[in-house]
Amino acid sequence: MPTPRKGYFTKDGTKVPSVTTILGRFKESGGLLQWAFKQGQLGASSLYEQRDAAAEIGTMAHAMCDAYMRGESAHDALYKFSPTLEQAEKATTAYQAFIGWKVNQRAEIIPAENPMVSEIHRYGGTPDFLVRIGELVSEAMLARSA
């Protein structure tokens, strides 16, 4: 679920930034710049073509994981994209890594999709899912430990 149209607000009506906004401020772009430079050295006609192809595989893998967490077919989610064989293999490899992580961590997937605002840390977000590894920590428990 995307950010609510009007944004996130604390109980007293103060507008607060989203998790995505905060994370965007701290993106380290050194690796991306090196990759772009290398694409130019290799004679790429468009650096965005390579970037977009990689991003599409990521989108496919994300759709597979999302389908799995919703109890739907990951295979069907992948093939809605009509992927090439290479794309399907790479997206499936990423999906299998997620499944391996989930099994190894004994993680439980909990649907969420409710906008949340931290009154303490003053930011908001709308997670698609929560992942329980051991015990869930509630906001009340965090407040007591602060």
Distance between CA atoms of residues 82 and 54, nearest Å: 15
pLDDT category at 60 given cuts 50, 70, 90 is very high
Mean pLDDT of 85-105: 95
Burial code (b: 16+ CB inside 10 Å, e: under 16) for 99-128 equals eeebeeeeeebeeeeebebbeeeebbbbee
For residue 137, pLDDT over 80 is answered with: no
Q: Is residue 19 part of a domain?
A: yes
The residue count of the chain comes to 146
Cα-based distances in Å from 19 to 82, 108, 119, 133, 139: 32, 23, 14, 21, 16
pLDDT tens-digit map of 10-25? 999 999 999 888 888 8
Q: Is residue 2 part of a domain?
A: no
Q: Is residue 3 part of a domain?
A: no
Q: Is residue 63 part of a domain?
A: yes
Q: What is the model's pTM?
A: 0.67
Tokens representing residue 130 in the block: 């929560």
Q: Is residue 140 part of a domain?
A: yes
Q: Is residue 1 part of a domain?
A: no
Task: Specify the number of domains making up the chain.
Answer: 1
Q: Is residue 17 part of a domain?
A: yes
pLDDT of residue 50: 76
Q: Is residue 28 part of a domain?
A: yes
For residue 100, pLDDT over 90 is answered with: yes
Residue-range definition of the domain harbouring residue 18: 8-145
